[in-house]
Amino acid sequence: MGTPSLSASTTVQLWWLALFTALLPLLALHGTYLMAAVESHVPWCLPYWDSCTSISRTGRHGTGYFLFKALMIPAAVLGALYWWFNGRWLRQQGAVGAGVTVLGWLGIGACLGLVLYAVVLGHIGDTFHSLRRTGVVLYFSLTFLAELLLSAALVRLPGPRVRGRRLLALCGLMLVLGLLSVVLQWLVHPLYDRIEDAFEWWFALLINLHAFGVAYLWWRTEFRARLWVA
């Protein structure tokens, strides 16, 4: 079978996939919070500052239970595609190394953790609690590692180096936030109990801001997929 001709093929821009990968989780988090607050399952507040509710609590009851799953599970599917394409995009930009190969698998593992978390959210019992914690840890830790590897690979490239440094700085901020939460948990546990939920909200926000930056780079580099009929 010969190579398909250009007349039988078309290209699809992929920056929108990265954009929705960043946007959909944020819509899920804030939309679910607003719904839970309207239905009086959580208080009205600014969770980033007041630490008044956890992300999990917003999706446990009422309409938020269904809204969270309806948005977050598709977001995880988009995220898996996003990380698979990231590996190919980096290689096309000239990036090499084991980190470029493994970041896609890290991202897919993170998205599986997010699916696990979304599916069991709202169910009561020690088993569901353990599964939910496992999903959260997998999602946050593996996503952070994948974003760190992606940012480090960009810094070593000549073209998007400046943008890579900004994304790497964002990863540094996430690392500082994570370390600060650990230190407070060990040394000032009563204070940590009062602000623990805010850490979760900020970390989720920073993770998705990183994807917005990658979406911009995909747009600048005209990253596309080609579809064809043989």
Position 43 in a domain: yes
List, for residues 94-125, the tens digit of each pLDDT value.
887 878 889 999 999 999 999 999 999 988 88
Q: Can you give the pLDDT at residue 51?
A: 87
Position 230 in a domain: no
Position 4 in a domain: no
Confidence bin at 226 (pLDDT 50/70/90): confident
Q: In whole angstroms, what is the distance from residue 125 CA to residue 60 CA?
A: 13
Residue 1: pLDDT above 50? no
% the chain with pLDDT above 90: 62
Confidence bin at 9 (pLDDT 50/70/90): low
**Structural domains of the chain, count:** 1
Position 3 in a domain: no
Domain that holds residue 64: 12-222
List, for residues 38-53, the tens digit of each pLDDT value.
999 999 999 999 888 9
Q: In whole angstroms, what is the distance from residue 78 CA to residue 101 CA?
A: 19
Contact of 4 with 229, CB cutoff 8 Å: yes
Radius of gyration, CA atoms only, the chain: 19
DSSP line for 69-107: HHHHHHHHHHHHHHHHHHHHHHHHTT--SHHHHHHHHHH
Position 228 in a domain: no
pTM of the model as a whole: 0.88
Position 7 in a domain: no
List, for residues 162-220, the tens digit of each pLDDT value.
678 899 999 999 999 989 888 887 888 777 778 888 999 999 999 999 999 999 999 98
List, for residues 63-95, the tens digit of each pLDDT value.
999 999 999 999 999 999 999 999 999 988 888
Between 191 and 29, the higher pLDDT residue: 29
Position 28 in a domain: yes
